[in-house]
Structure 1
Amino acid sequence: MKIYLNILHVLLILVGMSSCKKEKEALAPSDIDITYHVPQGNNPFDQTIVNYYENYGSYLLYKFNERDAYWTPTGWRKPVVGSAGSWSVGAEVIAAEQSAIPAQLDLLDKSFFSLYPQSFLKQFLPVKILLCSKVDSIYTAYIFNPTYTATKGIKKVPAYYSYDNIAVNYGDATINQMSNAEKLAFLARVNQVFFQSINERALIKPSTEFINSADYSTSNASQAVAYGKGIIPSYTSSITPVSDWNAYVMAMVTLSEADLNRSVANTNTSAVGILNPTKDTNGLIKKRYNMVRNYFINTYQVDLQAIGNKSRGL
């Protein structure tokens, strides 16, 4: 009897293992290829793309599918319309026209790659850069006809970040008609979303010096109180050392020194004027600004403010 029970026990284990194996095989998305390869063709510009991959470890793709553009571990990010007519936030993208890719790569090099050391890009670039002929930011807009009705809002943007990719625009004939203002807007946006990707992936932490230089333990009754403590995000938000650090980074990347030194009321929550005594009443913002700027210069040889100045044509 004991021998019989042991044999039965072994058989049950084997059946269970077989069921688990079949279940895992059924769940595996074997029909989806999530690997990327370059070159994607035999055009002269494909070698440039291969060189970027070899230097930075990021794939520049001009052939991609919806999964490449919209999939994330927490859900699909392709904008969709709801039952009430409202749209989910996101971007719609279309792959670049191959005839425009040489000019697009040149624009990307001048506006982005050339601004950083190779080591920084290799460490912090997302997996993919999608070369696009269209990058449209989608949002909910409202029209009055005859009552307010939700509708699809569309805004062309130079670049957009989503999970593991940055989609860049102007991969079509419009690249040959770009004004200087549009080129500056492209530079500003692509660098902004690059640091957005770094911040959202939590790849660069605030320094200990920065964390210890402000009081995060007490609440702020007003924006002026927050500025007086050297804290620059909106005082109504949930402020942490990380969100404060990220706000300093984005202020430098997106604004010039002239913008930051402009006199603006201390009730204003934008980063404009944070280095002016009107907002920086105790000189703490300037002190902490230098901490962040010097950290990036000393650690990564990247001057964030030089990028912000360049985005303003300086």
Structure 2
Amino acid sequence: MMRKIVIYLSILGLLGCLACSKDKKIGEVEPLGLDYELPQGKSPADDRIVEMYKKYESYILYEYSDKDFYYDSDITQARSYVYQLLDPRYVENMMDLLDEIWFDLYPEKFHQQTLPYQVFLASDLQYEDFYGEIVKEFVWSGAFSVIVSVSAEKLQELTPEMKLELKNKLQIKLWSFWRSYNYIKLPDEFYEVSNYVGVADTDESSPDYARARGFVDGYNRTSLWYDYIDDWNTGSISEVADLSTFIECLLTRSSEEWKDDLTWPLVKKKYDILRNWVQEQYGFDIQTVGNLFCE
């Protein structure tokens, strides 16, 4: 399983560093402590959490220490995160939410391939940005961990609109996580449709109009991404940005919201390539993720 390979490689790298240290002998290295005892015993959702572990060998945790949380160095290498544990009384509310916006969306086989080793449940997750402002996060991921944070108050008053926003954020982060660590693969055929050389145009009358070239605008952006050069060395739009934007749109747009873009032949071709690939390779329709809470 790819998830385990990532974990084992991370552990081997850590052991290699420890072995090279002059300050400690191998015999003095503390146990890695990656395993947890389930049920944790304080939530009505414990049975559900145990069942998830039995199916997927993925730990859903509401009680953990700093050592557990910060073990995955990818979580803190770019930003210093501070978290608050979720009160066990509200873990069932969180599990209900995750069922709706994550677990119920995908088949068991896909979960067996993609569920992270640890899913940390929190009531608050934040970091201080470059300007000293406190930024709160709903979801973040490391090399083999995902952290989901919703306050107890919000969990008790979730509306469909709030669930839609949380679903979009979670799914974008998950798919980025899965692609970054090769949990899933997407077709090279996608890149053969568009010409990536030169900046796309926002003028529909131009032969370089973005949609005519097969590009779409991304989720929650303040301006069209494709009117900028992604790779300043080559003067081109990058393949990575194109695929990421398409995936974002598939995860966040309803079928109705796709209609205008799909009148453009190259957009339609790339849309069909991705949708058909996911259906054939992983056994589900990715458009159902985009439709959730939209239709």
Which of these two proteins has the greater Rg computed from alpha carbons? 1
Give the stretch that moved more between structures: 287-296 or 160-169. Answer: 160-169
Change (3 A) 1:205 1:102: closer
Shift of 1:127: 1.6
TM-score of the superposition, structure 1-length normalised? 0.70
2:49–2:60 Cα contact (<8 Å) kept? yes
SS at match of 1:205: coil
1:38–1:49 Cα contact (<8 Å) kept? no
1:199–1:246 Cα contact (<8 Å) kept? no
CA distance in 2, matches of 1:276, 1:99: 46
Amino acid at match of 2:89: S
SS at match of 2:272: helix
CA distance in 1, matches of 2:199, 2:247: 24
Amino acid at match of 1:252: L
TM-score of the superposition, structure 2-length normalised? 0.74
Aligned length: 256
Question: Are 2:295 and 1:296 aligned?
Answer: no
Shift of 1:113: 0.4
Amino acid at match of 1:153: I
Shift of 1:202: 3.3
Q: Normalized per residue, which structure has more strand?
A: 1
SS at match of 1:133: strand
> Equivalent residues in 2 for 1:58-73 (5 A)?
58-73=58-73
Question: Are 2:93 and 1:103 aligned?
Answer: yes
Cα shift readout 1:222-275 (whole Å, capped 9, x = no counterpart): 34535433244635113444443332212100222333335xxxxxxxxxxxx1
Structure 1: gaps of 5 or more residues:
1-19, 81-90, 141-149, 263-274
1:143 corresponds in structure 2 to none
SS at match of 2:84: strand
Structure 2: gaps of 5 or more residues:
1-18, 203-207, 217-224, 232-236
1:101–1:171 Cα contact (<8 Å) kept? no
Cα shift readout 1:101-121 (whole Å, capped 9, x = no counterpart): 122112211221011001111
1:266 corresponds in structure 2 to none
2:200 corresponds in structure 1 to 222
Change (3 A) 1:110 1:212: same
2:86–2:151 Cα contact (<8 Å) kept? yes
* CA RMSD after TM alignment: 3.0
Cα shift readout 1:194-229 (whole Å, capped 9, x = no counterpart): 11211222333331422333334xx21334535433
Shift of 1:288: 0.8
1:249 corresponds in structure 2 to 247
CA distance in 1, matches of 2:36, 2:72: 20
SS at match of 2:194: coil
Amino acid at match of 1:230: G
